[in-house]
Amino acid sequence: MSALLEAAGVSASYGGRRIIEDVTLRAAAGEITTLIGHNGSGKSTLLKAIFNIVPWREGMIRLDGRDLAGLAPDKLLAAGIAYVPQDHSVFPRLTVAENLRMGGYVLGEARLLRERIATVEALFPALVARRAQLAGRLSGGEQRMLEVARALLVDPKLIMLDEPSIGLAPRMVDAVFQAVQVLRDQGKAVLMVEQNVRKALAISDRGYVMELGRIRVEDTAASLIGDERVTRLYMGKRPA
């Protein structure tokens, strides 16, 4: 399958310190691509570099053949990239309904916003019963659902998720991963950073292993699950 997102030779720095170096990565529409690696390996920085929110970045990034050089995050959102960061980003003092309306501010058309909200509420029915509830009072899993739903309002081609299951109860982890699979089945390209390696690779199509700011391994998710070194380092035991 041809790549929707293409990144080549991407490097990024914070405060003069190089965090990622010469990274090349591809993500296809209708596929889940997962980045794995130990804490500090540069996974989250790579997502931020793609979304152009690091202090310094170089390299080529294209979405559906379009060069994204120099585009600010709001322009990247309009181009078709949605980014859900690791830290919760809901507006805690606004209701669920108000958060969704805020997420659709770039649409500029009330009828289209209503249609998009109806679409995402169908994907996340748990949010419907909580429309009038303050987002800050939702559980961690519900807040994550709201963040993903809000990101989908602009109908992105690519959605990037940074640790979507972090801090969630097992039941909510399963619900979040089910939602990720729905996005893939709708034809979205999903690029996900996730510490729950086994569960993430089980639903993924392709995976990348990052170490010390570089991509060290690229393969199908099934092959990575069966790779002895990946299993030992990132899943805690050798394959049976």
Give the model confidence (pLDDT) of 65-99 as tens digits. Answer: 999 998 999 999 989 999 999 988 899 999 999 99
239 or 202, higher pLDDT: 202
In a domain? residue 240: no
CATH number at residue 24: 3.40.50.300
Cα dist from 215 to 26, 42, 71, 116, 159, whole Å: 12, 9, 24, 36, 20
Where in the chain does DSSP place strands (E)? Answer: 3-14, 17-28, 32-36, 56-63, 66-67, 81-84, 158-162, 189-193, 206-211, 214-220
Q: What is the distance between the alpha carbons of residues 223 and 220, in angstroms, rounded to a whole number?
A: 5
In a domain? residue 24: yes
Question: pLDDT band at 112, cuts 50/70/90?
Answer: very high
Give the model confidence (pLDDT) of 132-172 as tens digits. Answer: 999 999 998 899 989 999 999 989 999 999 999 988 888 88
User: For the chain, what is the domain count?
Assistant: 1
Residue 1, pLDDT score: 61
Mean pLDDT of 169-179: 88
Residue 239, pLDDT score: 43
Beta partners for residue 134, in sequence order = 95
Tokens of 1: 């399958």
Question: pLDDT band at 131, cuts 50/70/90?
Answer: very high
Give the model confidence (pLDDT) of 6-49 as tens digits. Answer: 999 999 999 889 999 999 999 999 999 999 999 999 999 999 99
Q: What is the distance between the alpha carbons of residues 80 and 111, in angstroms, rounded to a whole number?
A: 20
In a domain? residue 239: no
Domain residues for the domain of 35 are: 3-234
pLDDT over 70 at 216, yes or no: yes
Q: What is the distance between the alpha carbons of residues 28 and 78, in angstroms, rounded to a whole number?
A: 19
Q: pLDDT exceeding 90 applies to what percent of the chain?
A: 72
The mean of the pLDDT values for the chain is: 92
